[in-house]
A and B are shown apart, each in its own frame.
Chain A
Amino acid sequence: MHIVVCIKQVPDSAQIRVHPVTNTIMRQGVPAIINPYDLFAIEAALALKDQLGGKVTVLTMGPPQAEPALRKALSYGCDEAVLVTDKLFAGADTLATSYVLASAIKTLHQETPVDLVFTGKQTIDGDTAQVGPGVAKRLELELLTYVSRIVSVDQAANSIRVERRAEGGVQVLETRLPALITMLEGSNEIRFGSAPDMFRAARAEVCVWDRNAAGIEDIKKVGLKGSPTIVSRVFVPSPRAQKAQQIEFDAANPEAATQTLLDKVLVEIPKVKKQLDQTRDNKRASRSAGERHE
């Protein structure tokens, strides 16, 4: 069983601050950590390895400084680590990132066929939850998102059964391998690596792949060039300037109270009146349209 876990090194959001003047994120001095959601992916992969054997390869795309994150993953018990890094990759959005990761996984697959790919639910810095599905789509893997538990893997039948958190309940899904799973937070707890794993991680060679080694075919699809996403503006929402008002009502006369309140809202917030009028007009229009149909 060859499992690939995609992780991302992110700034520790608990310690991040936004520059009050420029509104940019101040990363200086903020420690980098493995994206917390990815730890659930790593643990799920390691648990499967404990059960079925094989190896876990941890993969990330990022600057050379991302190496400690991979080393950390090795210290939990992952077997190999690959850092895909290239100046051309800078400024990548989720589309470009998923292209690079998919290419790297394809390259890994040629060496040892990949059965499963794990990612976290999303990252804490981008919060898009798009990269995992993007990789799955590009590699034509079965996609299982928001998985809360791996129920079983049947290697003979080449299938996997998982539980997936969905609105209003839990779905039990079964699909064929290879598949990509995005793990839900709280689904497990990352292990405390053994002393030998810590030693191995401290000394291990992390594979560093540039665009050629990673098997990138089309360099127009990577980095800023391959990223159609445009961040037009980043801002900190300013606290509401409006103060709450207190209105006195006569409890014995609820109708007058309602009227006072309505007047207050409709006068002071013209947007509300406009929306109400709009809704009323729409309703009238649709009603008269309905009448015509009849």
Chain B
Amino acid sequence: MTQNIEKFDVIVVGAGPAGNAAAYTLAKAGKKVLQLERGEYPGSKNVQGAILYADALEKIIPDFRDSAPLERTVIEQRMWVMEDESYVGTTFRSDRFNQMPGNRYTIIRARFDKWFSEQVQKAGALVICEMTVIALLRDAAGKVIGVEVDREDGKIYADTVILADGVNSLVASRAGLREDIKPAAVALAVKETIFLPKETVEARFNLKGSEGVVIEMLGSISQGMAGTAFLYTNKDSISLGIGCMLSDMKAQNTTPAELLEKLKQHPSVAPLIAGGETREYAAHLIPEGGYHALPELYGEGWLLVGDSAGFVNAVHREGSNLAMTSGRLAAETLLELGEKGLPSTAANLARYKARLEDSIVLKDLKKYRNIPDTLHSQRQFLSDYPALLNGAAHEFFTVDGQDKATKEKAIFNAFRERRSLLGLLGDAYRLWRATR
């Protein structure tokens, strides 16, 4: 039965956004690409909220809007700072934001990933599912020269291996290319897809046609843990989810399902999903360690892209766009090396990191490099301030015969009592430091 399997230019491990972006870009340029996916079909292992940021995909497939399964164009963004029974929120809604082409869309990943993989296959890549990479093959000098899969006669060779194997990055970790993920560097997020008639979704959120709304939430819903929640409108469903740092959940002995149930019962959320039917329940890890947690991004014959490299901007909830961008940049690096006739040595693949540094991927991660630590050590941002803010709003908007000056004084005193004057100033400084 032993047969020699031919050699490929590039093997891409994983069929998520990063792997698809890399495989598509390489195949489109005529490279001989093999993409391996352990799931039953491309996308079967993938979970996201999900928002698609147009820019990253546009740079890979400019006319994606013609055929990609998009749910709604996001025209309204809400930010809710929540207490147990209330929220203080901001809303940004703009007709200009809605001018086509849209900037961001809600998507359902099962459908979107199927589409994306079809584009990869049309571009000429060979995509094989239900094949799990168990090890990397190396030559005597230690350069990665291929992969070994979990099937008979499963050694497959390539000039370069792109690891797009997701947040757990089992292949890269097992091969010693990166450390195992740490609980303090990943969030555990859960979500439900709750189905409602299209008309109901549109009426509840004041939408027409393909318009959509996004609500980002933080505050008491994360029970003092570092985490946020979201609500996205799809065509005839709502994606509702919440995620917190894994280390926090462990410390508080909380399960994500409990958090989600509480979120669904929150008086501000419950009416939005009332009468809906949950048809999908999903959970996933999100690498939120940020810049300081980044592993080595390349080496002799290999590159890391997407979640496996830890490219997630937790503050702005960006991940899949960074995944796609890193996949594209990895591919473009290899195309450049190919043109110049250079091998995939670590020295040459350093160009990949240079490209990342010059892009949104590492620029943004660098900007927010101190956010994870700040949120970890300074819990007041997620517990005290939401409570104070909601208390203040309650005080301010209650007309009860009390004069406004007294009300303002009461609000100020509440802040000072809980955080002290120095604390307040310190927090402002810390937040400013963490985001620049």
Contact = CB atoms under 8 A, between A and B. Distances in A.
Interface of A: 31, 192-196, 198-199, 202-203
A194 B1 contact: yes
B66 interface: no
27 contacts: A192-B151, A192-B152, A193-B151, A194-B1, A194-B151, A194-B153, A194-B154, A195-B131, A195-B149, A195-B151, A195-B152, A195-B153, A195-B154, A195-B155, A196-B1, A196-B3, A196-B5, A196-B152, A196-B153, A198-B130, A198-B131, A198-B151, A199-B126, A199-B128, A202-B127, A202-B128, A203-B126
Interface of B: 1, 3, 5, 41, 126-128, 130-131, 149, 151-156
Nearest to A196: B3
B5 A195 contact: yes
B126 A202 contact: yes
Contact of B128 (A31, A192, A198): A198
Given A192-B151, A193-B151, A194-B153, A199 B5 contact: yes
Given A194-B152, A195-B152, 5 more contacts: A195-B156, A198-B128, A198-B131, A199-B128, A203-B126
A198 B156 CA distance: 12
Contacts of B3: 196
A271 B267 CA distance: 54
Contacts of A194: 1, 151-154
A196 B155 CA distance: 10
- Which of A193, A196, A203 lies at the interface centre, i.e. has the most chain B CB atoms within 10 A of its CB? A196
Nearest to B2: A196
Contacts of A196: 1, 3, 5, 152-153
B162 to A, nearest CB: 19
A294 to B, nearest CB: 70
Nearest to A77: B1
A255 B421 CA distance: 89
- Which of A31, A194, A198, A202 lies at the interface centre, i.e. has the most chain B CB atoms within 10 A of its CB? A198
Contacts of B153: 194-196
Nearest to B155: A195
A194 B153 CA distance: 6
Contacts of A193: 151
Nearest to A200: B3
A199 B11 CA distance: 14
A202 B149 CA distance: 16
A193 B154 CA distance: 11
Contacts of B130: 198
B3 to A, nearest CB: 4
- Which of A31, A192, A194 lies at the interface centre, i.e. has the most chain B CB atoms within 10 A of its CB? A194
Contacts of B5: 195-196, 199
Nearest to A192: B151
B195 to A, nearest CB: 11
A202 B131 CA distance: 12
A256 B33 CA distance: 84
Nearest to A193: B151
Complex A-B, nearest 8 residue pairs according to Cβ-Cβ distance, in ascending order: A194-B152, A195-B154, A195-B151, A196-B3, A195-B153, A202-B128, A194-B153, A196-B153
Contacts of A192: 151-152
Contacts of A198: 128, 130-131, 151
Nearest to B154: A195
A68 to B, nearest CB: 9
Contacts of A203: 126
B193 to A, nearest CB: 12
Contacts of A202: 126-128
A76 to B, nearest CB: 11
Contacts of B151: 192-195, 198
A71 to B, nearest CB: 11
A235 to B, nearest CB: 22
B46 to A, nearest CB: 15
A139 to B, nearest CB: 33
A136 B41 CA distance: 35
Contacts of B155: 195
A251 to B, nearest CB: 49
Contacts of B128: 198-199, 202
Nearest to A202: B128
A195 B127 CA distance: 13
A232 B94 CA distance: 54
A196 B5 CA distance: 7
Contacts of B154: 194-195
A105 B128 CA distance: 30
